[in-house]
Amino acid sequence: MRRILLLAAAATLPVIAAIQQPVAITGGRISGTPGRDASIQVFKGIPFAAPPVGSLRWREPQTVAPWTGVKTADKFGASCMQSIVTERKPWTYEFMAHNDVSEDCLSLNVWTGAASAGEKRPVFFYIYGGGLTEGSSAVPVYDGEGLAKKGLVVVTVNYRVGILGFFAHPELTKESPNHASGNYGLLDQVAALKWVQTNIAKFGGDPAQVTIAGQSAGASSVLALTASPLAKGLFARGIAQSGASVAGGLMASGTKLEQAEAAGATFAQSKGAASIADLRAMSFEKLMEPVAATGGGRGRGGGRGGGIIIDNWLLTQSIPDAYAAGKNADVPIITGWTKHDIGISPNPTTTAEAFKAQAKQRYGDSAEQFLQLYPAATDDQARASANDAAWDQNRVSMYLWARNRAKTAKSKTFTYFYDHVMPGPDAATYGAFHTSDVPYALNTLYMADRPFADADRKIADTDSSYWANFALHGDPNGKGLPAWAAIGEKPETMEIGDKPGSIPVAGSVGKLAFWEKFLSR
């Protein structure tokens, strides 16, 4: 009787529909595994290109080698070559890569709640940060289940970083059929997007509804892809967290191919390498050994890698120039910054004397006006002014970027200022630090060992709903969410986090005028 009752109870349980496995994709067949929530299927470590090893080191990604049988896609592929660090405050365990590293690293991961291949769910394609020198799709807070539960098919991707991802050399340019070298990490992203176009429908995704998203170096990658002719038509929207700005950063790199080649040649000479074959024969560890300062350092755009290059193929001009000329993808974009992003501390230590000296050095003839707007009569006042000025500059710079974009693009741009502080023992020290918005936007608080409260969970639900709505409609707004206006002539941005709503980009009309004039230079 007990067995009959159990069988009857089991028969009443809902049956969770799922993509039929194995799934046939480019290269062969794969099987996945259930997520934490049984309604989500996860496919990890899917190869999207041939291993870039041996003679394929520093080459454009090549077609994936086919396999026989059914590949079990139940664990992440190796992270691309880098130095693994367990923690680097404020980035604790959940923000770092922890798995093995290998040059054989070009894999991606898929999370889907689709019940059939024909559902056409919007696709969220996430690109990790890490300064283009580190990062991995296996970083815990990039887990895709949080957004998959909101109706998206989520893809995270590995791409080459550092010297293996961004290294140019005259010999590499000469051997390339495209007469280019250096942007291998970005080319990996393009290859992965092409894989999505070919295969994502098998997982219930819609290849016509792809949102590319990323934070920090991932944001720079998103903006580079919007400016690249190679990525045209591969996505429909973009999200750049920390973020777009007229003030510069990785996205503004204007390093030309010839400059990057020269730095690469100098680096090769410092290693005693007479040819690219010699460099390809060296281990990653040998390549990364410190060398004498010869101009081939780790600077952006050459030497030991680390920057986006105008290679005359993936990028034919700088990203800002492409936007100014209207040669960027005319797609809806979300971009923004955190309150205590890079260089902004919740506890600044400057003094009144140092603040005034820095103002004179930086603003020259405009220093007196700056100090009237951001006074420094005392140390405490100087510290408050330091942050006020930094916040105003970031927000105005972002606003000007969006306003400039509107001159050549018809699609909407939505900007934000994120101010919520993650709980934890270092909360007062680091505030709303660079990357702290990611687990809220991706709905992955469950991947972090922090004392989250109901307020955190509400913010994560709100922020991830904005992201999910944007992936579906090209607009973050939706039922039950505070209204988020697209950028217009009114100098405002959306505050998200503690008190969602529209706020001015600067503390006063005078401050706005100052930054508009300064940043225009």
- pLDDT tens readout for residues 30-45: 999 999 999 999 999 9
Please tell me the distance from the alpha carbon of residue 185 to that of residue 167, in angstroms, as a whole number: 10
In terms of Cβ atoms closer than 10 Å to its own Cβ (0-12, 13-18, 19+), residue 131 is: middle
Specify the DSSP element, H or E, that contains 45.
Answer: strand 41-47
Please tell me the distance from the alpha carbon of residue 34 to that of residue 437, in angstroms, as a whole number: 27
Percentage of the chain surpassing pLDDT 90?
87
In this structure, of 107-116, 158-167, 203-212, 252-261, the range with the lowest mean pLDDT score is 252-261
Check whether 296 has a pLDDT greater than 70: no
pLDDT bracket for residue 253 (50, 70, 90)? low
- pLDDT tens readout for residues 146-158: 999 999 999 999 9
Q: What is the 3-state secondary structure (H, E, C) of 58-115?
A: CCCCCCCCCCCCEEECCCCCCECCCCCCCCECCECHHHCCCCCECCCCCEEEEEECCC
What is the secondary structure of 242-277 as a DSSP string? S---SS-SGGG---BHHHHHHHHHHHHHHTT-SSHH
pLDDT bracket for residue 468 (50, 70, 90)? very high
Q: What is the pTM of this model?
A: 0.93
What is the secondary structure of 313-378 as a DSSP string? SS-SS-HHHHHHTT-S----EEEEEETB-TT--SS----HHHHHHHHHHHHGGGHHHHHHHS--SS
3-state secondary structure at position 488: coil
What are the beta bridge partners of residue 124? 154, 211
pLDDT of residue 12: 35
pLDDT bracket for residue 16 (50, 70, 90)? low
pLDDT bracket for residue 254 (50, 70, 90)? confident
Check whether 287 has a pLDDT greater than 80: yes
pLDDT of residue 503: 97
Please tell me the distance from the alpha carbon of residue 72 to that of residue 192, in angstroms, as a whole number: 20
pLDDT bracket for residue 255 (50, 70, 90)? confident
Tokens 């606003």 sit at which residue?
399
Taking only Cα atoms into account, the Rg of the chain, rounded to an integer number of angstroms, comes to: 24
pLDDT bracket for residue 295 (50, 70, 90)? very low
pLDDT averaged over every residue in the chain: 92
Specify the DSSP element, H or E, that contains 278.
Answer: helix 276-281
Average pLDDT over residues 282-304: 63
**Token pair in block for residue 19:** 């993509």
Please tell me the distance from the alpha carbon of residue 160 to that of residue 424, in angstroms, as a whole number: 32
247 vs 395, more confident: 395
pLDDT of residue 475: 98
Provide the H-helix boundaries in 139-256: 145-148, 162-165, 170-175, 184-199, 217-226
3-state secondary structure at position 44: strand
Check whether 14 has a pLDDT greater than 60: no
E strands in 378-436: 413-418
CB neighbours of residue 401 within 10 Å: 26
Check whether 10 has a pLDDT greater than 90: no
Please tell me the distance from the alpha carbon of residue 286 to that of residue 465, in angstroms, as a whole number: 46
Backbone angles phi and psi of 150, in degrees to 5? -100, 15
Q: What domains are defined for the chain? A: 36-255+307-331 (3.40.50.1820), 336-520 (no CATH)
Strand order across the beta sheet in which 107-112 lies: 33-34, 41-47, 107-112, 153-157, 121-127, 205-215, 237-241, 333-338, 413-418, 492-496, 501-504
pLDDT bracket for residue 17 (50, 70, 90)? low
Q: Please list, in sequence order, all residues whose beta carbon lies within 8 angstroms of the beta carbon of residue 322, skipping any fewer than 6 positions away.
A: 227, 315, 316, 328
Type of residue found at 213: A
Please tell me the distance from the alpha carbon of residue 384 to that of residue 346, in angstroms, as a whole number: 10
In this structure, of 282-291, 410-419, 495-504, the range with the lowest mean pLDDT score is 282-291
Specify the DSSP element, H or E, that contains 50.
Answer: none
Please tell me the distance from the alpha carbon of residue 465 to that of residue 471, in angstroms, as a whole number: 10
Average pLDDT over residues 118-141: 96
In this structure, of 69-83, 173-187, 207-221, 299-313, the range with the lowest mean pLDDT score is 299-313
Please tell me the distance from the alpha carbon of residue 179 to that of residue 261, in angstroms, as a whole number: 12
Closest CA to 103 of 52, 66, 143: 52
In terms of Cβ atoms closer than 10 Å to its own Cβ (0-12, 13-18, 19+), residue 327 is: middle
DSSP state of 52: -
Average pLDDT over residues 426-445: 97
The Cα diameter of the chain in Å comes to: 91
Pairing of strands 205-215, 121-127: parallel
CA angle 133, 136, 141 (to 5 degrees): 125
pLDDT of residue 9: 34
306 vs 82, more confident: 82
- pLDDT tens readout for residues 302-331: 445 558 999 999 999 999 899 989 999 999
Check whether 81 has a pLDDT greater than 60: yes
pLDDT bracket for residue 392 (50, 70, 90)? very high
Check whether 105 has a pLDDT greater than 90: yes
Backbone angles phi and psi of 154, in degrees to 5? -105, 135
